[in-house]
Amino acid sequence: MERFEEILTKYNFIKRTDKLKTTFEESEKAINFKLPNDYKAFASNYLEFEGIIGDQYVRLWDFDDVIKMNTDHQIFEYLPNTLAIGGNGGGEYIAIEQLNDNSLRIVLSTFIIDKKAHIEIGISFTDFLERLDNRKAWFE
């Protein structure tokens, strides 16, 4: 079992029983970068999540809602290399960001929509989940 699946099982993430309505290709066209495989595996197999992982409150949006949420919050308009995938319940969103060298990272940022506000909280979706599971604080 993949490490991220162990964490999802530990925190009782609900398995998806239906197929995604939104394809990864549609989403990748909208954001202009490839989504990481571990995030795609999560999105394909699990519904949205809202709860505590480690010591942090996390809400990960259902993949079928991700593009609409980004459009509604004008993230694409101001941060074209960023895809919000959830939030922390404290006015901040969790996102996948493509860096200038085309590498990806997971960030926490404010809904003020300023790239300077991005704080790295993982170098991959799996790393993000592992940090949470290991009780690493958002702002260490």
Alpha carbons 33 and 51: distance in angstroms, whole number: 29
Amino acid 139: pLDDT: 63
Provide the whole-model pTM: 0.85
For the stretch 27-51, pLDDT in tens is 999 899 999 999 999 999 999 999 9
Say whether pLDDT at 140 is over 90: no
For the stretch 91-100, pLDDT in tens is 889 999 999 9
Amino acid 8: pLDDT: 93
Closest CA to 49 of 9, 92, 97: 9
Question: Which domain covers residue 47, as residue numbers?
Answer: 3-14+21-133
Could you tell me if residue 101 is inside a domain? yes
Report the number of distinct structural domains present in the chain.
1
The CA R_g of the chain, rounded to the nearest whole Å, is 14
Say whether pLDDT at 4 is over 60: yes
CATH at residue 51: 3.40.1580.10
Could you tell me if residue 57 is inside a domain? yes
Could you tell me if residue 139 is inside a domain? no
